């Protein structure tokens, strides 16, 4: 997604008279050590991610609640992971436009408990509390549980990537598991064809994953590698799949070979065009 021409001109004029924000080695290098999937990036990719993260920190506001104090190290860790999906989307200022519908990032010292309501088939309203590791709100801030962010340093789950790809999904309106697709996606010639191409691969993968989760939960079958939360809705499947795609790409390519080309085309359009 590109910013309007006048806005890009204004940004470049502003940058010409003010130094670009930077991240010190003392903050950046520990972040790379903590997250192996960031350390595995090429040096050129790490350098671009560092620029993206610095601009992200310049534009966003972090707030700790319930006594949590957000340190510079915490903010840099989150910024680096949040910007990873944007890494191959052209100029950093343009790429960050995908996150221009919010400013705030709220950090909790523990998983949050949110009140929810659901209406059953009989029309009865049920109130309950849902434990949340994170939440992305359309047009609003992103909430993250700091312990869950730290837990993302190992394994295939990553709450930061999860919530920020929800923001990408929201660029289409309500989350449905399909983000806005660029013109010519996978060689298609229309938006309708691009979305048909997406769902032709995505729906069977989602249904198969639901079956695997159901077999594990109901009949004691083997637990799937991917987080079972992805079976709750297409939007959650998209977010959970993206976590694995960025964090453990090699294993992901084996588990979901039909989805790998679509995510490569979406998240790495420049690489796809050059090959």
Model confidence at 274, in pLDDT bands (50, 70, 90)? very low
Are 48 and 129 found together in one domain?
Answer: yes
Q: What average pLDDT score do residues 46-64 get?
A: 97
pLDDT at 17 over 80: no
Number of domains forming the structure of the chain: 2
Q: What percent of the chain has pLDDT over 70?
A: 85
**Please, what is the average pLDDT of the chain?**
89
- Of the listed ranges 50-54, 113-117, 151-155, the one predicted with least confidence: 113-117
Are 43 and 133 found together in one domain?
Answer: yes
pLDDT of 273: 46
Q: What average pLDDT score do residues 51-74 get?
A: 97
The parent domain of residue 57 ranges over 21-154
Q: What are phi and psi of 63, to 5 degrees?
A: -135, 125
Are 203 and 106 found together in one domain?
Answer: no
pLDDT at 268 over 90: yes
Higher-confidence position of 83 and 116: 83
pLDDT digits 0-9 by tens, 240-260: 999 999 999 999 999 999 999
Q: How many CB atoms lie under 10 A from the CB of residue 59?
A: 12
Are 197 and 241 found together in one domain?
Answer: yes
pLDDT at 13 over 60: no
pLDDT at 3 over 90: no
Reported for 22-31, long-range contacts at CB under 8 A and 24+ positions apart, including other chains, are 22/54, 23/50, 23/53, 23/54, 23/57, 23/76, 27/72, 27/73, 27/76, 28/76, 28/80, 30/73, 31/73, 31/76, 31/77, 31/80
Q: What average pLDDT score do residues 215-226 get?
A: 91
Strands 125-132 and 134-136: unpaired
Strands 125-132 and 104-108: unpaired
**Is there a domain that residue 160 lies in?**
no
């Amino acid at each position: 997604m590109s910013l309007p021409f006048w806005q890009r001109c204004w940004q470049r004029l502003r940058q010409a008279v003010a130094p670009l924000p930077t991240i010190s080695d003392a903050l950046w290098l520990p972040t790379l050590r903590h997250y192996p999937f960031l350390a595995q990036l090429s040096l050129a990719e790490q350098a671009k991610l560092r620029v993206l993260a610095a601009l992200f920190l310049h534009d966003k506001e972090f707030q700790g609640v319930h006594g949590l104090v957000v340190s510079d190290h915490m903010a840099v860790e989150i910024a680096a992971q949040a910007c990873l999906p944007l890494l191959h989307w052209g100029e950093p200022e343009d790429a960050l436009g995908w996150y221009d519908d919010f400013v705030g990032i709220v950090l909790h010292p523990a998983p949050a408990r949110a009140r929810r309501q659901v209406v059953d088939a009989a029309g009865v309203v049920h109130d309950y509390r849902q434990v949340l590791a994170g939440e992305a709100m359309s047009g609003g801030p992103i909430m993250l549980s700091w312990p869950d962010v730290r837990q993302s340093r190992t394994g295939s789950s990553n709450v930061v990537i999860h919530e920020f790809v929800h923001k990408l999904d929201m660029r289409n309106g309500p989350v449905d598991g399909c983000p806005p697709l660029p013109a010519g996606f996978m060689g298609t010639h229309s938006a309708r064809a691009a979305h048909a191409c997406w769902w032709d691969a995505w729906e069977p993968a989602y249904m198969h994953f639901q079956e695997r989760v159901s077999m594990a939960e109901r009949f004691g079958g083997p637990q799937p590698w991917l987080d079972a939360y992805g079976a709750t809705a297409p939007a959650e499947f998209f977010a959970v799949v993206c976590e694995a795609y960025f964090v453990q790409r090699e294993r992901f390519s084996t588990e979901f070979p039909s989805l790998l080309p679509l995510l490569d085309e979406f998240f790495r359009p420049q690489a796809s065009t050059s090959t």
